[in-house]
Amino acid sequence: MCGGLGNGTLDHYLPKDDYPEYSFFSKNLVPACSCNSLRRKAVKGVVSPSRAIHPYFDDFLSDRLYQAVFKGQFDTPGISIEIIDGNHPQKDILRYHLDEVISNDGTQGWFEKYWSSLSDRPHDMLELVLPCGPQNLTGSELKAALNRYRNSKDKEYQTPNNWYSIFYTGLMSDNDRLDQLATKINQLRQPIT
């Protein structure tokens, strides 16, 4: 439901307290983590058609819908998740799903922690992703490597809206931050003398 990486449980799309008749209806049981209990009973907004995305019925979930946006300094940026296409035909649903399901402390914590690890030791985190060193890596070479990595995460999780894909899609559109990250990788890859 939120794009998180643990999906070990099934939970109710229509909350069972309000819709007990659907408690055991298979299409009402969707893969989710704690995000689903965090949304409590939110299913639809005040104004139609805003509602949560349904993973079995909403075919636009195969589109890339969300990306991370990084603002501010390199070490501790502000990170938010935003809708990629503000003119998407389902933009009201995307907004509702972002506000009510995706955006919560668990999601925010994962993005901040992941950036913290990545910015601290990118050469280790991306060892299998980067072209073999130790030659100098440019920002555009880093972007090409991250693009392949992001696409592999789309396939691994069978959705372009998993947290890794959201994270790297946003990072790839931030050329300044990519350049800084490439510089850091080059420094850290220097052999210790």
Residues that bind Zn ion (CB under 5 A): 1-2, 4, 33, 35
Q: What is the DSSP letter of 10?
A: E
Q: What is the DSSP string of 88-147?
A: -TTHHHHHHHIIIII-SHHHHHHHHHHHHHHHHSHHHHTTTTSPSSSSPPPHHHHHHHHH
CB of 35 or CB of 65, closer to Zn ion: 35
Q: Which is nearer to Zn ion, 106 or 133 (CB)?
A: 106
Pick 4 or 77: Cβ nearer Zn ion = 4
In one-letter notation, the amino acid at residue 166 is I
Smallest separation (angstroms) from Zn ion to the CB of 3: 7
Between 35 and 93, name the residue whose CB sits nearer to Zn ion.
35
CA-CA-CA-CA torsion sign (92, 93, 95, 100):
positive
Instruction: List C-alpha distances in Å: 113 to 77, 94, 106.
Output: 11, 25, 11
For residue 93, what are the contacts with CB-CB under 8 A and spacing of at least 6? 49, 50, 51, 52, 53, 58
Q: Nearest approach, Cβ of 132 to Zn ion (angstroms)?
A: 36
**What's the CA gap between 159 and 50, in Å, rounded?**
22
Question: Toward Zn ion, which CB reaches closer, 1 or 14?
Answer: 1
CB-based closest residue to Zn ion = 35
Instruction: Give least dist CB 76 to Zn ion, A.
Output: 25
User: Minimum CB separation from Zn ion for residue 1, in Å?
Assistant: 5
Least separation in angstroms between residue 150's CB and Zn ion is: 20
